[in-house]
Structure 1
């Protein structure tokens, strides 16, 4: 090997072993090198005892998967490019033509849209159930029902369901449950060990997260996770994951790994700030409801209280009907520290106005809804920002 061009690619140097540091190493690969053909034939990827191809895992992705599984209280985790990809992976892996999936009416909108369009095109039916009525779910489960989605709390309107009751009903009927646990983030409660009122516990079969939110915390990463405790169920998901080619970039995994040590600190800081701002809004005459699970008047407060003492820095307010949608939009536009944008759990506080009529089969409240996501700014500054923005709509 005399040509330096070849030497740049096949250089014999290997750094000494034994290097260690707080941050895990970052391994980037599509191709994985095998020592010989025997190693090629013997290598397995399903049980993570070896490496075969970048899509099937690297030391970097295996490390994040193990940490998310521990955080969630599960045993195995799969990484996908977004939270919505996590939802669609579960649906594709577990549902087939003729099956039915049941989804709470207050679920994350793209979950419902995936059912309305892609699943429907594949001959998979869906129905939406009342997220606060376990008896309604029990009556709806039929012979074709294979999967029940749950969300705690509901998207935008923040109703907190009686999770253990819903899970117990589904298990009694032999139906799998999947929880969108992005809000809880593995910190607010253990989705695989939910206490029952009469004693004992019950757990969901699958917990998904948008790691885009709290696990990342920087508003600069898109990633999702699918966590289970059952090995056979994990394998069903993993095989679909392999066949559909889901992959995540090593640099994105690195950013999430770097953020995980501060995740609980950020969650608690935004929890505290969110409660303070929500309590401030309770005293405002412009709104009729403040939707935050920690507030006694918020739907499902008792259910939340039985499971947790933590809440994400996320809540919504319902403006009085006397304010038009244009007036509410003007309030949102007048905010200076709150930026208009989707997602949450990043360092910058966000705000989005919503119209419930287009989101719910039977809207519970009348009036425009505004969702606040608390960042890491000083909460007194955020309160002052809301106060000055309200001057544009008057009383």
Structure 2
């Protein structure tokens, strides 16, 4: 079954809501049982999609979890209230005091903050590594390294990592590989097929697709599913059934949204590449983007997200450019139908690699590309006037 068909059909059918196209929103906390025997049967099968207690799920959550599992090709999925919760809970499921974690230097900044604060306080050491290290990461492995964390493309700077080589080195040393797959989405990259053990998503972004729900997910392979599930349960994670419903609705249009957003982003990236104000365009589909050859090998498509690095520019000039945009909202996150822009300075969150130059990240929404290019051109005129 091809991915577009799988996206439409996964997490639907009589198993969840007989005769209905969409799974309804089931609100539940307490589940009551006719007999003690049936209660005990439910307890014995509490991870097997039986009604047991609201935090263990209802058909709304199960349908979404099954759909994400199917798209990632995993053994099972745990849902969380946000993408960051999915990241932190997944890490905590595989570490203990005294362990060592290898973290890509290009990681999503809140993940770094979690490592530098929460994990450090628990006696778990984090070493940041160059995202382009590949199989040479074997030289950083220690006897107590339990996790190698990857993110491909990298947050803000879009380095593509060699997941198969990293996974081979990690597994040889007895570590598991966790991957934040939000930016690629399961449509464009199936990291479990490449050797990762857990694929993590902020469903808030591309899957929900409408900037109106907070949700996260982690999909594990068979060898690591029980540990992931236990960690989610013991930390009390649960996903809102209303948000799960919105994610299921958004999921059905993931493929056409990703295609249009990806095509628009590539067009904008190529237009910006010709501008004299731009030093570099960071888009994995461009040949000069770090890891492009690996992207061609492992990915099946591109997303709506990319960055540019300006040759120069003051805060005032950058603000003049961004403040006057008509179609690009200034804000965090991405993956919705609307275009976004975010100024950033990665140099403040890099320790294993260095960064220079002002960076602007763009998310291409579903607006007409000509309107977006006109917005970019007017913005660069304001930028130049403010220099």
Other-structure match for 2:268 = 277
Provide the C-alpha distance between the structure 2 equivalents of 1:264 and 1:49, rounded to a whole number of angstroms: 28
Other-structure match for 2:10 = none
* Shift of residue 35, structure 1, vs aligned partner: 1.7
Residue deviations 1:349-388 (CA, integer Å, cap 9, x gap)? 0000011221212655422000001111111100000000
Deviates more, 1:94-103 or 1:364-373: 364-373
* Shift of residue 291, structure 1, vs aligned partner: 0.1
8 Å contact kept, 2:220–2:228: no
Other-structure match for 1:155 = 155
Establish whether residue 358 from structure 1 lines up as the match of residue 352 from structure 2.
no
Other-structure match for 2:297 = 306
8 Å contact kept, 2:347–2:355: no
Deviates more, 1:205-214 or 1:365-374: 365-374
8 Å contact kept, 1:315–1:372: yes
Establish whether residue 35 from structure 1 lines up as the match of residue 34 from structure 2.
yes
3-state SS of the aligned residue for 2:225? helix
Establish whether residue 184 from structure 1 lines up as the match of residue 222 from structure 2.
no
Other-structure match for 2:207 = 215
8 Å contact kept, 2:101–2:125: yes
Other-structure match for 1:146 = 146
Residue deviations 1:230-272 (CA, integer Å, cap 9, x gap)? 15x2111212211211111111111111111111111111010
Other-structure match for 2:216 = 224
* Shift of residue 42, structure 1, vs aligned partner: 1.6
Could you tell me the TM-score, scaled by structure 1's length? Answer: 0.90
Point out where structure 2 has 5 or more consecutive residues left out of the alignment.
1-16
* Shift of residue 393, structure 1, vs aligned partner: 1.9
Provide the C-alpha distance between the structure 1 equivalents of 2:317 and 2:156, rounded to a whole number of angstroms: 20
Provide the C-alpha distance between the structure 2 equivalents of 1:251 and 1:86, rounded to a whole number of angstroms: 18
Provide the C-alpha distance between the structure 1 equivalents of 2:106 and 2:18, rounded to a whole number of angstroms: 49
8 Å contact kept, 1:287–1:319: yes
Provide the C-alpha distance between the structure 2 equivalents of 1:333 and 1:183, rounded to a whole number of angstroms: 25
- Aligned pairs for 1:188-337 (under 5 A) are 188-194=188-194, 203-231=195-223, 233-321=224-312, 323-337=313-327
Provide the C-alpha distance between the structure 2 equivalents of 1:237 and 1:133, rounded to a whole number of angstroms: 27
Deviates more, 1:146-155 or 1:33-42: 33-42
Q: Which has the larger radius of gyration?
A: 1
Point out where structure 1 has 5 or more consecutive residues left out of the alignment.
1-17, 195-202
Other-structure match for 1:60 = 60
Could you tell me the TM-score, scaled by structure 2's length? Answer: 0.92
Establish whether residue 94 from structure 1 lines up as the match of residue 86 from structure 2.
no
- Aligned pairs for 1:331-346 (under 5 A) are 331-346=321-336
Cα separation, partners in 2 of 1:309 and 1:227, compared to 1, 3 Å: closer
8 Å contact kept, 1:170–1:176: yes
3-state SS of the aligned residue for 1:186? helix
Other-structure match for 2:384 = 394
3-state SS of the aligned residue for 2:167? helix
Other-structure match for 1:6 = none
Provide the C-alpha distance between the structure 1 equivalents of 2:294 and 2:305, rounded to a whole number of angstroms: 17
Provide the C-alpha distance between the structure 2 equivalents of 1:67 and 1:271, rounded to a whole number of angstroms: 22
8 Å contact kept, 1:356–1:363: no
Q: How many residues align?
A: 368
Q: Which residue, out of 357, 365, 368, partners 1:375?
A: 365
8 Å contact kept, 2:86–2:201: yes
* Shift of residue 135, structure 1, vs aligned partner: 4.9
3-state SS of the aligned residue for 2:252? helix
8 Å contact kept, 2:317–2:384: no
